[in-house]
Amino acid sequence: MRGRISAADTGLISAVLAGGDALCLECITKKTGVPISDVESVLARIGKTLRIERGRFLCRNCLTRRTVFRFA
Ligand SMILES: [Zn+2]
C-alpha cells in the first residue's frame, strides 16, 4: 500500500469511468495501472465530488458478474 492517492491516479480512474462503462476493480487496475489496493480509496475520493454507483453487474470489460463501479 502506498498510503497516498495521487491526483494522477484520480484523473486516470475518472477518465476510464467517464465513458459510462461499469468496470470491476481488476479491470480498472488493468486499464489505469493504479494498484488494486489503491483503487477503492481513489473511488472513495472521487465519490466525494461525483456520484459513483457500485453494484453487482456484468463488468463491461471482462464480462464477469462481480462488483463493478460506474458514474451514476
Ligand atoms: Zn472486469
Domain that holds residue 45: 7-71
Residue 57 lies in a domain: yes
Grid cell, residue 61, equals: 470489460
Give distance in angstroms: CA of 22 to centre of ligand 1.
8
Cα separations in angstroms, 32 against 13, 46, 53: 6, 15, 19
pTM: 0.90
The confidence score (pLDDT) of residue 2 equals 52
- For residue 22, which of 37, 39, 71 has the smallest C-alpha distance? 71
Number of structural domains the chain divides into: 1
Question: What is the CATH classification number for the domain harbouring 46?
Answer: 1.10.10
Residue 2 lies in a domain: no
- For residue 10, which of 26, 21, 22, 38 has the smallest C-alpha distance? 38
Give distance in angstroms: CA of 4 to centre of ligand 1.
24
Residue 45 lies in a domain: yes
Give distance in angstroms: CA of 28 to centre of ligand 1.
7
Residue 1 lies in a domain: no
Determine the Cα–Cα distance for residues 62 and 24; give it in Å rounded to an integer. 8
Find all residues with CB under 8 Å of 48, minimum gap 6, and list them.
none
**For 10-58, how does the pLDDT look when each residue is reduced to its tens digit (9 = 90+)?**
999 999 999 999 999 999 999 999 999 999 999 999 999 999 999 999 9
